[in-house]
A and B are shown apart, each in its own frame.
Chain A
Amino acid sequence: MTRRLSIIVVEKDRDRAVMIVDGLREAGDHDVLVIADELGLARRISERNPDLVLIDAGNPSRDAIEELTLASAPLQRPVAMFVDESDGALTQAAIEAGVSAYVVAGLSANRIKPVLDAAIARFHLMQKMRVELAETRRALEERKVIDRAKGIVMRAKGIGEDEAYALMRKAAMDQGRKLAEVAQALVTAAELLK
Chain B
Amino acid sequence: MTVTLRLGFLPLVDAAPLIVAEAMGFAEEEGLALDLVAAPSWSASRDLLSIGEVTAAQMLAPVPVALALGLGSPARFEVLSVLNLNGNAIGVSTALAARMRDHDFALSDARDAGLALLAAAGQRLRIGVPFAFSMHNELVRYWLEGLGQTLPESLEIVTVPPPLMPDALAAGEVDAFCVGEPRGSVAVERGAGVLLLPTSAIWAAAPEKVLAARAGWAEQDPELAGRLIRALWRAGRWLGQGANLTVAGEVLAARLGVSAEVVERSLTGRLVIAADGAERVVPGFLRFDGGAAGFPWRSQAAWIGARLARRHGLDAMQAQTVAAQVFRSDIYRLHLGPAGADLPAASAKVEGSLAEPTPVASSRGRLILPPDRFYDAQVFDPGLAG
Contacts and interface: CB of A to CB of B under 8 A. Distances in A.
A40 B173 contact: yes
A10 to B, nearest CB: 12
Given A39-B167, A71-B312, A83 B41 contact: no
A42 B159 contact: yes
A108 to B, nearest CB: 19
B130 interface: yes
B173 A72 contact: no
Contact of A67 (B47, B51, B132, B167): B132
B72 A72 contact: no
B161 A83 contact: no
A62 B41 contact: yes
B303 interface: no
A59 B173 contact: no
Given A39-B173, A61-B161, A63-B130, A95 B43 contact: no
Nearest to B158: A42
Contact of B44 (A40, A58, A84): A58
Interface string B73-94: 1110000000000000000000
Contacts of A84: 73-74
B234 to A, nearest CB: 31
Contacts of B160: 64
B341 interface: no
B51 A95 contact: yes
A62 B173 CA distance: 17
A57 interface: yes
Interface in B42-72: 42-44, 47, 50-51, 71-72
A58 B159 contact: no
B131 interface: yes
Interface string A34-67: 0000111011000000000000011111111111
Given A42-B158, A61-B164, A83 B71 contact: no
A66 B43 contact: yes
A66 B75 CA distance: 15
A63 B41 contact: yes
B47 A63 contact: no
A65 B74 CA distance: 17
B40 interface: yes
A72 to B, nearest CB: 6
Given A38-B164, A83-B50, A70 B312 contact: yes
B24 interface: no
Contacts of B75: 83
Interface residues of A, number: 26
A131 B75 CA distance: 31
A72 B73 contact: no
Q: Which of B43, B161, B171, B312 has the most CB of A within 10 A?
A: B43
B125 to A, nearest CB: 15
A72 B157 CA distance: 12
B171 A83 contact: no
Contact of A60 (B40, B72, B171, B173): B40
Q: Which of A39, A57, A60, A70 has the most CB of B within 10 A?
A: A60
A67 B157 CA distance: 11
B131 A63 contact: yes
B173 A67 contact: no
A39 B51 CA distance: 30
A38 B173 CA distance: 11
A70 B157 CA distance: 14
A57 B312 CA distance: 27
B132 A39 contact: no
Given A39-B168, A61-B161, A64-B160, A72 B312 contact: yes
Nearest to B42: A63
A67 B312 contact: no
Given A39-B167, A40-B173, A67-B132, 14 more contacts: A38-B161, A38-B164, A39-B173, A42-B158, A60-B161, A60-B162, A60-B163, A61-B161, A62-B43, A62-B44, A66-B42, A66-B43, A66-B131, A100-B43
18 contacts: A39-B164, A43-B158, A57-B44, A58-B40, A58-B44, A60-B162, A63-B132, A64-B158, A65-B43, A66-B159, A67-B158, A70-B132, A81-B73, A83-B73, A84-B74, A95-B51, A100-B43, A100-B47
